[in-house]
Structure 1
């Protein structure tokens, strides 16, 4: 068997030089960026040999979970009008995309404008949580740089969000909350700014409070708190590191020795420090979530989709909150497939098709996630909210819908004042006062107001809301009321 002493002499410079040679300069810079993502600085590089048993989160623990619906969710079929006059208008406007009036799941509201509503028939688990007061809908929310009416939209194009209807730009604007500046000027996401402000609550935390289950994202980009990437199956380790085999153990030991050597080159020093942090954080996280999942049986009851796997890992990490010394956590999970320009529904069968399959996955996965939090005693401390590129057009292009604007979103958790629709539903008349063309609704609620309500619950003070949301002062409601104190 090869021993550590028989390994070739490997200096820090040679080790890092080999990395540079193998990936090239551009690849090296990319690797450094990725290592910053997965190697958030830890206050302690030690890995406990016998981790303490995880338990219910501490009373002052809170977590936000951003569920991003990538591609632009057609929320016109997420919440459907059911009163006769409104449904007739809906059916005429949606054409082949219209859901059957008898198929939607009716919900009640505590206030409103006289219209009645129902949820998509695939959302049975979420409808149950709505009825229990744990699930709320936020109507017609979207990117805004200023409050807009149809008259202002037409007369003042300078007040519109930048690059409206563009996937990439609108994803960035949703995740930064700033719709009138490019990301190069903003530089951070609103989740990252929340993390920067609240990270002081995490005394001696072992890993970053910003945990992404689906790769890099703009939402969690902060100035002082870096994203830490976790796979649905656990910690993401650098290739060849770890202790799973004797070879890996020897290789990891050699890598750590090389990385610990002093070097005058700042780039190599930074690369080495980040690499070391990534290795140690991966080992720490692996030790914390080792063994059987305490909520495995719950997730066994739903299909093993990517979203279910991501949420299962979030539940496990919430359960490990005490071991990680985290009083605040911000998670990012993502489900794609919503850019449905075609095949959105199976014509003639209103409860089938690609959109139905996506919403069913969301409902089943979130239902299991909420049950798992209840089992862990954390249902009141974890709030899940949705975001997406934009809504979709109200009318159809044949068998799908195109890029829109205002959209309905939802919030789930024990601290949610659920069982109600917040905000203002649009006037669904094509060409009406809320329509910019083809049923692209002008949002009546801004992303800023949506985010401010969540940030306030998370612990951001009213005086610090402008730090998180620079444009919040332009909007009337920094607290929309869907979160309890």
Structure 2
């Protein structure tokens, strides 16, 4: 191969790949992920869908303490009132008016709300706080692998599929990057398949490097072969089922529909990862947050109905998080600045404890103007890993992280 062509193909492979070199023989039946999974109540393997709200969603205007005078005092023009159409969850807490889809799931016992989730010594930087959430680290740690990537490393021994975890996007998040294994970023199966079908790349992926080679060239050959095999598998699987459900005509809506189609088509992924951005609402928060929360709510309601119709909802758990909440007091631009603790949503047809799982953080006992966290997000991760995915949470997160009992 000419050096120039090798470098060109290397650049493309770096965008396609997302698996290490030793993952190969993708079509062997004994390597299929289902063989490594524990039984779910429905007899099917359990899966996790993570939805990341990027930018720091304002939790106080999402789960609203609509009978708390301190809330209205801190936000004289930004606070939502009962007359705005707040959707009551209890006598004093309610959902944002745009979240009617999630309110319906709440009423059906398919939504749980965990309040005041955070971590000690919080960081208000978007990038650092998102790294902490994606790696599952403490604020004093710097990790280069994600919590779901380490799940793949430690709980998929012998599993050679590069699509054990799928991010429905063009790039792969740190959360899905392990030391040995990584997830796969796929916006749509057809787009991913098309990227691997150029005549030049197709020929490269079919050429065999010397078996004993350990060079970069060997790595490239294997990467291209694995990428092409994954693209073929996902593309073929995606043709099995096309959803007829109506999703919001938004990027998130389309990504959720793709997720449902892959699940219903029988793709053997344990983890799906999606994101919705735009929550950094320093200015004119009402309109921006309302639009985004409506998009999220309608999309998740459509996903739940779609998967329930196809018998895949009881073995699916959705976790919705943001890297931090916002300050309690509104700013001068009718928005909110970076805060700390926040709420997390859990959705499934198999929740053991739906509803409000704990009390919200006190507005009378703030930490320098911020909400005090009550639940360490790593305890939530530990519970999901051990109780839902059947994994060894200590191998993924390290010792000393206490699980939250009885969530799933």
The TM-score bracket by the shorter chain reads: 0.7 to 0.9
Which residue is 1:99 aligned to?
Answer: 80
Alignment of 1:103-182 (within 5 A): 103-108=85-90, 116-144=92-120, 160-161=121-122, 164-182=123-141
Aligned partner (choices 179, 200, 203) of residue 223 of structure 1: 179
Distance, in Å, in 1 between the alignment partners of 2:25 and 2:137 is 32
Aligned equivalents of 2:79, 2:405: Cα separation in 1:
30
Larger radius of gyration: 1
Equivalent pair of 1:62/1:381 in contact (CA under 8 Å): yes
TM-score by length of 2: 0.88
Does residue 479 in structure 1 map to residue 404 in structure 2? yes
Aligned to 1:358: 292
Q: TM (normalized to structure 1)?
A: 0.75
Aligned to 1:80: 64
Identify which of 447, 450, 473 aligns with 2:377.
Answer: 447
* Aligned match for 1:343, one of 272, 284, 289: 284
- 2:33 aligned partner: none
Shift >6 Å, 4+ stretches: none
Matched, 1:466 2:407: no
The 5 A counterparts of 1:236-275 are 236-237=192-193, 239=195, 241-242=196-197, 248=198, 250-258=199-207, 260=209, 264=213, 266-275=215-224
CA positional deviation for 1:141: 0.1
User: Alpha carbons of 1:262 and 1:481: their partners in 2 closer, same or farther (altered >3 Å)?
Assistant: closer
Q: Give the aligned partner of residue 36 of structure 1.
A: 17
Instruction: Tell me the distance in 2 between the aligned counterparts of 1:465 and 1:291.
Output: 34
User: What SS does structure 2 have at the residue aligned with 1:409?
Assistant: strand
Does the CA contact (< 8 Å) of 1:135 and 1:417 recur in 2? no
Instruction: State the Cα distance separating 1:287 from its structure 2 match.
Output: 1.2
1:423 aligns with 2:358: yes
Output the CA distance in 2 between the equivalents of 1:182 and 1:73. Answer: 24
Residues 33 and 18 (structure 1), Cα distance of their counterparts in 2 relative to 1, 3 Å cut: closer
| Secondary structure of residue in 1 paired with 2:343 | strand
Q: Alpha carbons of 1:235 and 1:62: their partners in 2 closer, same or farther (altered >3 Å)?
A: farther
| Deviation of 1:366 (Å) | 0.2
Q: Give the superposition deviation at 1:107.
A: 1.3
Q: For residues 97 and 72 of structure 2, what CA distance do their matches in structure 1 show?
A: 16
Q: Which residue of 1 aligns with 2:245?
A: 298
Query: How many aligned positions are there?
Result: 393
Look up the match of 1:380: 314
Residue number among 140, 164, 171 corresponding to 1:209 in the alignment: 164
Alpha-carbon distance change, 329 to 64 in structure 1, aligned in 2, over 3 angstroms:
same
1:436, 1:33 → 2: CA distance?
Answer: 44
The aligned counterpart of 1:395 is 329
Deviates more, 1:33-42 or 1:445-454: 33-42
Segments of structure 2 that go 5 or more residues without pairing to the other structure are 30-39
Please give the secondary structure, in 1, of the residue aligned with 2:75. helix
Aligned-partner SS, 2:177: coil
Q: Does the residue aligned with 2:245 lie in a helix, a strand or coil?
A: helix
* Pairing partner for 2:44 from 43, 60, 73: 60
**Contact 1:307–1:365, Cα closer than 8 Å, also in 2:** yes
CA distance 1:253–1:471, change in 2 (3 Å): closer
| CA deviations over 1:367-419 (Å, ceiling 9, x no partner) | 00001110110111010001211000111113111000000111001122354
How many angstroms does 1:89 deviate by? 2.0
Query: Structure 1 residues 232 and 78 mapped into 2: Cα distance closer, same or farther (>3 Å)?
Result: farther
Q: Please tell me whether the aligned partners of residues 66 and 331 of structure 1 are also in contact (alpha carbons under 8 angstroms).
A: yes
Equivalent residue in structure 2 for 1:285, among 234, 242, 249: 234
Could you tell me which residue of structure 2 aligns to residue 4 of structure 1? none
Structure 2 equivalent of residue 308 of structure 1 = 253
Within the alignment, does 1:18 sit opposite 2:2 as a pair? no
User: Aligned-residue CA RMSD in angstroms?
Assistant: 2.6
Aligned partner (choices 268, 274, 283) of residue 333 of structure 1 = 274
Deviation at 1:232, TM superposition (A): 3.6
Quick one: distance in 1 between partners of 2:134 and 2:202?
39
CA positional deviation for 1:318: 1.1
Distance 1:188 1:314, change over 3 A: same
User: Structure 1 stretches of 5 or more lacking a match?
Assistant: 1-12, 48-56, 109-114, 145-159, 243-247, 346-352
Give 2:155's aligned residue.
Answer: 198
Could you tell me whether the CA contact under 8 Å between 1:235 and 1:282 is conserved in 2?
Answer: no
Q: Distance in 1 between matches of 2:313 and 2:253?
A: 17
SS at match of 2:76: helix
Cα deviations by residue, 1:219-254 (Å, 9 ceiling, x for unpaired): 111223211111146451474x42xxxxx4x54553
Is the contact between residue 162 and residue 182 of structure 2 (CA under 8 Å) also seen in structure 1?
no
